[in-house]
Amino acid sequence: MELIMKVNCAAYDGDYYRVKRLIGAGADPNKTDYVGRSPLLVAASKGYEDITCFLIDQGADAEISDKFGSTPLLEAIKNGHDQVASLLVKAGASLTIDDAGDFLCMTVARRNLDLLKRLLANDINPNAKNYDQRTELHIAASEGLYPMAEFLLEAGASVLSKDRWGCTPLDEARIGGNKKLIKLLEVARASQLSEFSDQYHQQTTQACL
């Protein structure tokens, strides 16, 4: 534990040569501290490309997670370290979030559009739901966040999704009274209903053949 704490401290400080010396002295790059943080997770969270590359070369697990469910890739994405995120993806990491719906809804509620874009760019479902069956679009609509709603729709978010109370994002927008947002969601609703109808007719036709 003492040795891995030294490696994690060196990784936190961005001290590439100290990390290299400690690993060379026998420190396991996949050992974790008391909260499950590995040197790679620490380096990724700080955006240190050289240390990230070195640890990957030394066999560090690119998908290891700490006790809170965070991974090196998630840490890199959360902190805006795109180059480090790219290195991790090349090393085989894929983005997994234990409660994606809640995480994404909180991201929207905090108005962090940049993080939302990075998350969805890594194949996180734009229709993931939280414990109340609310999607990210529900939150954006209820908060009157037009840019968020517009981006979510472009990313494939459904305006037809209902929460545990039977409300759709359009219902939320109408309560808020933002006319521009209401119009956006009404147009999206018509488009998605039309697309759903076309798919239904195609499936029905195929079934009858």
Homologous superfamily of 100-208 in CATH? Ankyrin repeat-containing domain (1.25.40.20)
Give the angle subtended at the CA of 5 by the CAs of 31 and 95, to the nearest 5°. 50
Residue 85, C-beta contacts closer than 8 angstroms, at least 6 positions apart = 44, 73, 76, 77, 118, 122
Quick check: do 2-90 and 100-208 share a fold?
yes
Homologous superfamily of 2-90 in CATH? Ankyrin repeat-containing domain (1.25.40.20)
Classify residue 129 by its DSSP letter.
Answer: -
pLDDT at 207: 54
Domain ranges of the chain: 2-90, 100-208
One digit per residue, pLDDT tens: the chain, 209 residues?
Answer: 788 999 999 999 999 999 999 999 999 999 999 999 999 999 999 999 999 999 999 999 999 999 999 999 999 999 999 999 999 999 999 998 888 999 999 999 999 999 999 999 988 999 999 999 999 999 999 999 999 999 999 999 999 999 999 999 999 999 999 999 999 999 999 999 988 765 655 555 555 45
pLDDT at 28: 95
pLDDT at 96: 84
pLDDT at 120: 93
